[in-house]
Amino acid sequence: MSLLEKRFAFEKIMTFADGDWIFKEGDHNRDLFIIQEGEVEIIKHSPQGEMKLARFEKGDFFGDMALLQGGPRFAGARAKGETRLLILQPGGFLLKIRRDPTFAFEMLQQLSHRIKVSNERMLGLIQQGGITLDKAQEVLNSIEGK
């Protein structure tokens, strides 16, 4: 295997049509996806129906929870419009971090931003009366330090 083949052995590019599932909730792959063109919606199924958790666009990544934590996918990912993705398998992710440490820093920045947005949304629900402060604190206490 040539040096070039080794470098890209864990990476591939795929294109998805509008509405195509990239992965479904419960799937067991651990790939990380970086959007090169298009958009992706993250969908969680609930007894009340589909809930859109997030929308990502060019330059964003998703699939990080399965990559970093293992286990089945927490939610599904669906293409919104024609979407081209760079797909990194777990081994490719480690190689990318070694080759480009700024990639890891940028990823941490985005993950930190996502946590901040989630916290702001919870505070908004408390302020609007959609959830009580006690219930919110109960949820936060259950994840503290884990």
The predicted pLDDT at position 93 comes to 87
pTM score: 0.82
**pLDDT tens-place string over residues 18-68:** 999 999 999 999 999 999 999 999 999 999 999 999 999 999 999 999 988
Closest to 65 (Cα-Cα) out of 115, 30, 34, 108: 30
How far is the C-alpha of 66 from the C-alpha of 77, rounded, in Å? 12
Task: Please check the confidence at residue 9 and state whether its pLDDT lies above 90.
Answer: no
Mean pLDDT of the chain: 88
How far is the C-alpha of 33 from the C-alpha of 59, rounded, in Å? 10
Backbone phi, psi, residue 25, to 5°: -50, 130
Query: Domain 1-99 adopts which CATH fold?
Result: Jelly Rolls (2.60.120)
The domain limits of the chain are 1-99, 101-146
